[in-house]
Amino acid sequence: MPTILVVDDSAVDRRLVGGLLEKKIVCTVEYAANGVEALARMTDLEPDLIVTDLTMPAMDGLELVKAARIHHPDVPVILMTAHGSETLAIEALERGAASYVPKSRLAERLPNTVEEVFWLARADRSHQQLMNCLIKAQFTFTLENEPALVDPLVDQIQQMVAGTQLCDFNGRLQIGVALKEALLNALFHGNLEIGMGSPGEAEDELLEESDQSLVEQRRSQPPYRDRRIHVDVKISPDEARFVIRDEGPGFDLSTVPDPGDAGALQPEQGRGLSLMRMFMDELTFNDAGNEVTMVKRRESNDGEHPGR
């Protein structure tokens, strides 16, 4: 059973978050009041994941992300962001946090985000010995509009990235998050033209409402049924390059906020696309908005990426 360490200086908030996780996920929840206490507990506790507030005394969430990446690099960190902490959250994501959830939407988004990060972490650790033999990889996929194909493809790519030792565990986790967002965007918003929120939110909404009928309906009707997702991947020890193109009408790129803007982390501002921009070293769209190119470059010894 996985162990989740919840870190928040508010005892009430800690218990609320812990109760929410235990209600939705089969897990053990432990608690810490700040980053210093969290690091001390991690020595013996060895949690599988950390969920932390950003603003805390003694050691805040940003400092905890930095320290965890140094001393516990295999433990992913999810941030809980409050209004006014967006700038700090952006820096924490750049420093290696796996994802974030606005405090205003914990009940609807935190359990799904935790389960997604758990899945990505497990996928990254599997088949490690075989993939360490990989030197270079290049392949192309043409996917039907089938949501079940997304996770296996992300898993496969993560293993290949691990083999080339392009980046550490947190870097591979961020690649997995960005890839999944891009593939869901191509599927739901591109080919099937469902919704205009972030890809992750569109998927959650469909699952929460048990309303798969729209997806199935469009998968069987023209023009949606004939559209495909094209994925080109090139991975070497120096960089990984991903090109994902759907056959939908595209979208208006001017509606996506700059990742450095505090508003980029607000739920209504395209959370998925903002994560893609923050987790990749380079991200560009074609003029139509239906093809995205993402590049992750080799980390330097200090964990930074060239050009950042």
Answer yes or no: is pLDDT of 50 > 60: yes
What pLDDT score does 226 carry? Answer: 96
Nearest-CA neighbor of 171 among 235, 237, 118, 94? Answer: 94
**Among the ranges given (7-16, 29-38, 260-269, 294-303), the one the predictor scored with the smallest mean pLDDT:** 260-269
Which of 9-13, 32-36, 91-95 shows the lowest per-residue confidence on average (mean pLDDT)? Answer: 91-95
Residue pair 93/171 in contact by the 8 Å Cβ criterion: no
The predicted-structure confidence for 187-240, as pLDDT tens digits, reads as follows: 998 999 987 544 445 555 454 444 467 888 899 999 999 999 999 999 998 999
Cβ neighbours, 10 Å, residue 139 = 12
Give this prediction's pTM.
Answer: 0.75
pLDDT digits (tens, 9 = 90+) for 132-142: 677 788 999 99
The DSSP code sequence of 229-244 is: EEEEEEE-SSEEEEEE
Domain annotation for the chain: domains and CATH numbers: 3-123 (3.40.50.2300), 128-297 (3.30.565.10)
Quote the pLDDT of residue 257: 59
Mean per-residue pLDDT, 280-304 = 86
CA distance readout (Å), 24 to 27, 28, 111, 180, 208: 9, 12, 6, 22, 13
pLDDT digits (tens, 9 = 90+) for 65-86: 999 999 998 899 999 988 767 7
Decide if 96 contacts 170 (C-beta within 8 A). Answer: yes
User: How far apart (Å, rounded) are the C-alpha atoms in residues 65 and 96?
Assistant: 7
AA letter at 235:
I
- Burial class of residue 21 in the structure, from the number of CB atoms within 10 Å of its CB (0-12 exposed, 13-18 middle, 19+ buried): buried
The answer to whether residues 155 and 149 touch, using CB atoms and an 8 Å cutoff, is: no
Higher per-residue pLDDT: 129 or 68 = 68
Exposure string of 254-283, with b = 16+ CB inside 10 Å and e = fewer, is eebbebeebebbbeebbbbbbbbbbbbbeb
Distance CA 87, CA 105 (A): 18
Q: Using one digit for the tens of pLDDT, what is the confidence trace for 293-306?
A: 999 999 775 555 55
Q: State the DSSP code for 5.
A: E
